[in-house]
Amino acid sequence: MLALLSAASMLILREPMRVALALITSMTSLAAVYGLMGVHFIAAFQVLIYVGAVMVFMVYVIMLLQLRESNVADRWSALRWPGVLVAGLLLAVLAVVARGVDADRMPRAPLGQSFTLVEFSTDFLSRYWLEFELTTVFLVGAIVAALAVIGVSRRQGAASGASVETGAERQHG
Amino acid sequence: MDKVSFLLFVSGGLFTIGLLGVIIRRNALVMLMCMELMLNGVNLSLVTFSQQRGDAAGAVMVFLTFVVATAEIALAIPIVLLLVRQWRSLDAARYSTLRG
The pLDDT of residue B100 is above 70? no
pLDDT > 70 fraction of chain A, expressed in percent and rounded = 77
Rounded to whole angstroms, the Cα distance separating B64 from B69 reads: 9
What residue type is assigned to position B83 of the chain?
L
The pLDDT of residue A173 is above 50? no
> How far A168 CA sits from the closest chain B CA (Å)?
21
Question: What is the model's pLDDT at position A39?
Answer: 85
Instruction: Choose the weakest-confidence range: A51-65, A89-103, A152-166, B37-51.
Output: A152-166
**Mean pLDDT along residues A127-135:** 87
Q: Chain B within 8 Å of A156 (Cβ-Cβ)?
A: yes
Cβ atoms A72, B91 nearer than 8 A: yes
Q: Write down the mean pLDDT value for chain B.
A: 85
Q: A61 vs A23, A117, B17, CA distance in Å? A: 15, 35, 23
Question: What is the model's pLDDT at position B40?
Answer: 92
Contacts of B38 in chain A (CB under 8 A): none
Element (H, E) at A12: helix A2-12
Q: pLDDT tier at A140 (50, 70, 90 boundaries)?
A: very high
The pLDDT of residue B72 is above 70? yes
Q: Write down the mean pLDDT value for chain A.
A: 78
Q: Chain B within 8 Å of A27 (Cβ-Cβ)?
A: yes
pLDDT in tens, B3-29: 888 888 889 989 998 998 888 888 888
Which of the pair, A95 or A143, is modelled with greater confidence?
A143
**Mean pLDDT along residues A90-118:** 73
How much is the ipTM here? 0.87
Question: What is the model's pLDDT at position B1?
Answer: 66
pLDDT in tens, B36-46: 999 999 999 99
Contacts of B80 in chain A (CB under 8 A): 61
Minimal Cβ distance to A54: which of B3, B36, B90:
B36
pLDDT in tens, A32-72: 999 888 888 889 988 998 888 888 888 888 888 876 555 55
**Mean pLDDT along residues B66-89:** 85
**Mean pLDDT along residues A102-109:** 68
* Contacts of range A103-109, beta carbons closer than 8 Å, 24 or more positions apart: A103/B2, A103/B3, A103/B4, A103/B5, A103/B52, A106/B4, A106/B52, A106/B53, A107/B52, A107/B53, A108/B52, A108/B53, A108/B54, A109/B51, A109/B52, A109/B53, A109/B54, A109/B55
State the virtual CA torsion across A81, B39, B13, A99 in degrees, nearest 10. 130
Q: Chain B within 8 Å of A98 (Cβ-Cβ)?
A: yes
Q: Which of B18, B94, B95 is nearest to A23 (CA)?
A: B18
List A76's β-bridge partners, or say none: B25
Chain center to CA of A101: 27
Q: pLDDT tier at A141 (50, 70, 90 boundaries)?
A: very high
CB half-sphere exposure, A33, CA atoms < 13 A = 25
8-state DSSP, A49: I
Class of domain B3-97: mainly alpha
Distance separating the N- and C-terminal Cα atoms of chain B:
47
The pLDDT of residue B32 is above 60? yes
Helices (H), chain B: 3-24, 28-53, 57-87
Phi, psi of B2 (to 5 degrees): -85, -175
The pLDDT of residue A8 is above 60? yes
